[in-house]
Amino acid sequence: MRVHVADHPLITHKLTVLRDRTTTSPVFRSLTEELVTLLAYEATRNVRVDPVTIETPVTTTTGVTISQPRPLVVPILRAGLGMLEGMTTMLPTAEVGFLGMARNEETLEPTTYAERLPDDLSDRQCFVIDPMLATGGSLSAAVHFLFDRGAVDVTAICLLGAPEGVAALEKSTQGRDVNLVLGALDERLDENGYIVPGLGDAGDRLYGTV
């Protein structure tokens, strides 16, 4: 697994505001969108393109266009939905699939309550989006859903990751082609499985249930 941790003052600045407990849901939502567009820049570095010839007003020239079949973006509900608009702004032709997962807050095990993905992912570049990589249980399960449909090229984008989650994802995807792009790699998990320093519960902060 290749791991890329963003190292850019704009990203760190926006993450700092996101972490702040006094940041309101509307600001949290728009910062999440902004952050994913910045992270998407790195995450799509190897997006497949084909050459095209076009006419400019001046001459004929060659450029590139995103290859078919289109990339697939998969937000992990609920919190991953907060990253979807930013991701599709960067990849407007992408198809969107959905995975609904909730972590049991006692056992920290994820359960899947919704799944809507294309049947055959064997030739699709897949981008999974979820703001938080904590124990890694949810993201590992999501990536294995994609592998089970034949995916061989998977990139995950998370705003924050814990070392425990990175290690778990690495272990569960050994030998597979997986990229992980993080806005920041935090210190650790606390005794309740929350990322430290983290930002709290991303879904609650996005959707105003706290």
Q: Which residues contact ligand URA (rule: CB under 6 A)?
A: 79, 132, 134, 194-195, 198, 201-203
Query: Cβ closer to ligand URA: 94 or 159?
Result: 159
What is residue 186's three-state secondary structure? coil
Report residue 94: phi and psi, to 5°.
-65, 150
What is the number of residues in the chain? Answer: 210
E runs forming strands in 105-176: 110-116, 125-129, 132-133, 153-161
Q: Which entry of ligand URA, ligand PRP, none binds 108, CB below 5 to 8 A by partner kind?
A: ligand PRP
Query: Cβ closer to ligand PRP: 81 or 91?
Result: 81
Shortest distance (Å) from residue 103 CB to ligand URA: 6
- Asked if residue 173 binds ligand PRP (CB under 6 A), the reply is no
Query: Cβ closer to ligand URA: 128 or 134?
Result: 134
Of 98, 83, 50, 69, which is closest to residue 181 (Cα–Cα)?
A: 83
Name the residue type at position 64. V
Q: Which entry of ligand URA, ligand PRP, none binds 194, CB below 5 to 8 A by partner kind?
A: ligand URA
Work out which of 17, 38, 108, 152 binds ligand PRP, going by CB under 6 A. 108
Site string for ligand PRP, 19-58 (x = CB under 6 A): ----------------------------------------
Of 185, 182, 171, 178, which is closest to residue 155 (Cα–Cα)?
A: 178
Of 201, 25, 209, 1, which is closest to residue 102 (Cα–Cα)?
A: 201
134 is known to lie in a ligand binding site: yes
